[in-house]
Structure formats: structure tokens, C-alpha cells
Structure 1
Amino acid sequence: MPLIIMVGVPCAGKTTRAKAIQSYLQEDCKLNVELINEETLGISKCEYYKDPQTEKILRASLKSNVEKLIDQNRVVILDSQNYIKGYRYELYCLARNAQTNVVTIFCDTESEIAQKVCSEGGYDNAFPPALFEDYFGRLERPDPTKRWDNPLISIRFDEVTPYEEIAQTVQSGKKPRDPVSTKAEITFDANFIYELDKSCQKIINFIMAKQQEVTQGDVIAGLPGCQKKYKVLRVLSPVELKKYKKDFLNLSKLHPPKSKDKFGDAFLEFLNASNAGAAAASE
């Protein structure tokens, strides 16, 4: 069953709507529904969202719990800000690996309204004005033209939650299709992962050599085995690049690149998306 991703600024009404959606799907549609948020994990928003490093830990914990619960027989609702498009892409990949679909619900609440809710005591005062403005400015609005944000249901603050539309989308939505770069069309031999690892390492070595010569925002072309280009959003350490390679190899075991000549571009696409999310989180 689908993963429902709630998106919105602090105090936009996400938790209220998420709980109501959970009740509707359980009581009216007789579905098995799990709600995941900071509250269910016993995590204090006040403590975790005030520091970029603890926020990163929080996102990893939420994602880990989604990965544990998501399957074809259970609806999972992730109720958090989910304001980074790269992070939503990672969640989309989890759903694709579980052979189910995603539904994005955007609580499109105006800044003045959400800030007023926060000032009246929302989220246990975790978002004072300065912190609220910071997160409001970071929001990367969902885009229905992007496969990881589609289908998208946008709800303004004064609108009634469209329960029937959500239920219909959940029950009849199409599963995410494998992108061309990760759809397996050939059978690889036993050296598949070894060869893929070598291709990735060549790209990593190239990036590490070149990123010292460029500035933030520059684009690096001519990567070995790649037609795509790499955008430098920040300087990546060898440890970070190694982690990205490990994550990509694990994903490729389930969804191999289309062919051997696409190994490099597939890794570069994954690297660009993952790095974009990490760069946004560190701002």
C-alpha cells in the first residue's frame, strides 16, 4: 500500500490532517495504516529542529522507520516537514523498492497563518519567529511534474481535507515505474556489482580531483563513462562519497542500471539528487 508523504512548513496543520486521514482510512476504508512522526518516535521537535546535525539525525530516523514498515499491505503516513525535494526522492525510492506507490499531500498554508499558529503555542513553541522564517524559506514546494511528488494533493489552510480523493488515490494509484536509468533490461553476470563499483569509484576519484579546482555552483563535465554532468553544490569528503556509493550499490542490486554503458550516468543521477538534499539541509 502507498506511502503518504505530508509536506508543509511548521504549524501548517500537517499532524491534524494526518491523524484525520489515518482515522478515515482505518474506519471507512478498513485499511491498515501506520502514522510516523516525531511524536510517535518520542522525539522532541523543540530539541531536534534547532540544530542542523540533530535534524539530520531526525530525518534519518524517520526514513528508517518508513523503510521498516512500508509494504504492499500497509499504508504508511510520514507526517513531518519533508521540505527537501532530495529527501522526498529518497522516500520515493523506498516506495519503489517496496513495489508500492507514493501520494504527496501538501499543506499549502500561508506564512502569516502558520506563524500565528506557532505563536499561539503550536509544536510546543518549537518554532519561534526566527526559526519559523528559516524553515519557511527552505521549503522546496512539491512539483507534480516530478515523479517523486506525483500524485500531488494540495490543501490550503481553510479547505476541508478531501478524504474521498485521498482514499481513491491510495487504493487505485499506479505504482512508481522504474526510471530508464535504473530499469533492468539485461541480465548481468556475476561480476556486475564489481564492475559497477569500479565505474562508481572512477567517478568519485574524478570528482575529488576536480572539486578542488571549482567553486560552488560550477558544473563538471567529462566524467569517466558519463554523458551527464555533475553540479558542485558543496565539497564532498571521501567518507560522504563512499557512503553515496554504498547506498547506490545497494539500490542497484534491486534495480540495476539499464546497461553497462549506463552505469556512470545512473550513479551520477543518484549522486546529484542525494547531494542536492544534503546541501539544502546544511543551509
Structure 2
Amino acid sequence: MPLIILTGIPCSGKTTRCEELKNFFLEKNKEVIIVSEAEQIARSGFEKNLIYLDSNKEKHIRGLLKSEVLRYVTSTNLVILDGLNYIKGFRYELYCGTKSNKATQCTIHAEINRQESWKINDSRNETEKYTKEVYDALVLRYEEPDGNNRWDAPLFMIFPDQELDKDKIYSTLFDKEAPKPNKSTQNAPLSSTNFLYDLDQSTKKIVASIIKAKKQNLVGKVQIPEFENLYIDVSKVSIPDLSRLRRQYISYSKLNPPNSQEISSLFVQYLNTSLT
């Protein structure tokens, strides 16, 4: 149910803290689910540096992360979002989502000296490091969390050489009541009949193409018609799975409407993520 949002500039130790928190909460007999920005980028087939130079691709990844997080905060587990999460508006959206689901939340800001951060980045493998252009852009764009903002609070700041107060984080998440939903955090009813029609037709078309591929006894990754970069492993999905996942995606999209042009790509990504 609770959510921990990790945030910080590149190479500030977010993933290290994520693993530290995971081990701590597992010892407390809590189920832990990690939603990783790096893993989501890899699954999407995008190159990391190109993501942050293309606002549409970056927005697409944020939409997938938000969808993945809110899919899990409705159950009785702990979700840790490991990523840059540098946009305060995105953190606010997550706050609204957890609040509407009556879940507690906290933010952990991994802080680090910029020169030290760049040295760590520069020592990484070529496939893992940020280019100087992208690194500088991300540092410039970074919107530091503020504990006075309700969507960033409670806020914990941690430097690489400091010990994380995990007991206090545990108390914050599990010993306090979640904030009550209000009009600002509840989703307004969806009224666009065009959107509902597009949502129904787009998902139905993709499901039909996958069923057709299965009937042709195709195996492995199959391209979704009309989308050059969208593939799904048809051997991993059954027809009942498709129907169930389509219903789930439609229900979620009615409450959290995506851009109409992204319905199909987000649905395919949702299928791949769910099947994985």
C-alpha cells in the first residue's frame, strides 16, 4: 500500500538505497515491489540518452511508470519507485494517486556533490553512462523536493556517506494513517465519448491481431500491425489473459486518461509488462 519515491540527479545512489530499503522491509516481512525507470526504458527498447533528449519518449516512460506504480498501491505491499523523478508535477500526480487509494507515501532525496556524481557516471560502462549533454540537462532540469510541499512530505534527504533512518521511514509509512481523498485528488468522471470509442477500438484491434497471430501458430515476438516499434511475445499470452488485461487497462484508462495518440502503444506496453 505505501509508496516510497526515490529522487535525485544521475549517479546519486538511488538504486543502492532502493536495494537497502528492499532488504530492510523484507526483513520486516513486507512484500516489496520495485518499479524501476531504468528497467522500463530497457523494456521499451529505447536508448537511455535518447530518452531524455526526446520529450515525447520521456513522457511515454513517465506514463508507464505512473501506471505501474498505481497498479500496485491498491494492494497491501510496499512500492518503491526508483528513478530520477525530477519533475515536481510528476511527483504531485503520484501523490494524488496514492491519496485517492488511501495509501501513505514518503520521498527520499538522494543528494550528492555534482562533481562526484559526474565522476561516478564517467567511470561506468559506455552503455550505462549518460553523455555530458544529457547529464548537464538533467542536472539543470532537476526540481528538488521540498518538505513544505504536501506531495514531497515526509521528506528524507540522504548523502552517500550517511546512514538512512529506515526505522523512521517504516514508522512514517506503516504507523500513520493515509491522507483522506478529496476533490483535488479524485479523478473526475470521464465524459469524452470519442475517447471511450478510441479506447475500445484501439485495444480491440490489438487483441484481434494477437489472436490472429496465435491462430497462425506464430511464436516469439510479433509486430503489432501499423506500429513498427511495437512487439509482443504471443507465446506468453493466452486468449483469456488478453481479455482480462484488456478489461484492466480500459478500467484504469477511464480513471487516468492517456493521450488518445498513446492508447495503443501504452496498451502494448501494459501487456508486455503484465506478462513479464
TM-score in terms of structure 1 length: 0.61
Correspondence for 1:77 among 69, 76, 80? 80
Q: Cα 1:52–1:154, aligned 2, differ >3 Å: closer, same or farther?
A: same
Correspondence list, 1:187-226, <5 A: none
Residue aligning to 1:116:
119
Asked if the contact 2:14/2:110 (under 8 Å) is kept, the reply is yes
CA distance in 2, matches of 1:104, 1:153: 6
CA distance in 2, matches of 1:169, 1:193: 32
Percent identity at matched positions?
Answer: 31
Provide the secondary structure at the position in 1 that maps to 2:33. strand
Q: 1:26-49 deviations in whole A, cap 9, x for unaligned?
A: 1x2110110010344344534423
CA distance in 2, matches of 1:59, 1:193: 23
Shift of 1:52: 2.0
Q: 1:6-35 deviations in whole A, cap 9, x for unaligned?
A: 010111110111111011101x21101100
Correspondence list, 1:44-55, <5 A: 45-55=48-58
Q: 1:70-125 deviations in whole A, cap 9, x for unaligned?
A: 12401100001001010001001110121111110000112111111111117944
Residue aligning to 2:35:
36
- The total of aligned residue pairs comes to 194
> Unmatched 5+ residue regions in structure 2?
193-251, 257-276
CA distance in 1, matches of 2:84, 2:25: 22
Asked if the contact 2:102/2:180 (under 8 Å) is kept, the reply is no
Provide the secondary structure at the position in 1 that maps to 2:61. helix
Asked if the contact 1:72/1:99 (under 8 Å) is kept, the reply is no
Q: Cα 1:52–1:175, aligned 2, differ >3 Å: closer, same or farther?
A: same
Residue aligning to 2:25:
25
Asked if the contact 1:34/1:75 (under 8 Å) is kept, the reply is yes
CA distance in 1, matches of 2:51, 2:60: 8
* Of 45-54 and 110-119, the range deviating more from structure 2: 45-54
RMSD of aligned alpha carbons: 2.9
Shift of 1:145: 1.0
Residue aligning to 1:219:
none
Residue aligning to 2:208:
none
1:158 maps onto 2:168 in alignment: no
Q: Cα 1:144–1:179, aligned 2, differ >3 Å: closer, same or farther?
A: farther
> Unmatched 5+ residue regions in structure 1?
184-191, 198-246, 252-283
Residue aligning to 1:4:
4
Residue aligning to 2:16:
16
Provide the secondary structure at the position in 1 that maps to 2:63. helix
Correspondence for 2:102 among 99, 102, 117? 99
Correspondence list, 1:203-282, <5 A: 250=255
4+ long deviations beyond 6 Å = none
TM-score in terms of structure 2 length: 0.62
Asked if the contact 2:49/2:134 (under 8 Å) is kept, the reply is no
